[in-house]
Amino acid sequence: MRRVTVALVTIPLLLAVALAPAWSQSEDPKALIGEWNGEWKFSSGQPPLQDVYTLTIARVRGKHVLGHVEASTPRGLQKFKIQGVLEGKTLSFARTSLEIDGSQMVGHDTQRGWDITLTKTK
């Protein structure tokens, strides 16, 4: 009887931990608001290129994310606004998809062929 009681208490607890979302930066999407700094890399070119990439998230409403990007490139500073969608732990905008893991984002911009790595700084 004691084993059954322990199992009935332990199994739901283990399931809750195992099924918890991977992104739990306070589990509030508004925690994404702020500045994310890092770099983009284009490793297919010769020589490989990389430079500074900054994503600033200004607003999160439900699954909708608004902000802007500044990226240093060989052609100068590129600036553009974003209207993204947050689904689970993935932020997508334009042709960019970023996986969120706490204070880190990693992903790819298929339009430019960039791999992007970001850390929340503000």
Span 87-110, pLDDT tens digits: 999 999 999 999 999 999 999 999
pLDDT (tens digit, 9 = 90+) per residue, 15-36? 443 444 444 444 688 889 999 9
Q: Does residue 4 lie within any of the structural domains?
A: no
* 3 domain residue, yes or no: no
Question: How many structural domains comprise the chain?
Answer: 1
**Which structural domain range is residue 112 located in?**
22-120
Residue 101 lies in a domain: yes
Asked if the structure places residue 8 within a domain, the reply is: no
In a domain? residue 6: no
Output the domain CATH number for residue 77.
2.40.128.20
- Residue 13 forms part of a structural domain: no
In a domain, 91, yes or no: yes
The answer to whether residue 102 is domain-embedded is yes
For CA atoms 14, 19, 24, 27, give the dihedral sign: negative
Q: Which residue has the higher pLDDT, 85 or 14?
A: 85
Residues 6+ apart with CB under 8 A from 49: 41, 42, 74
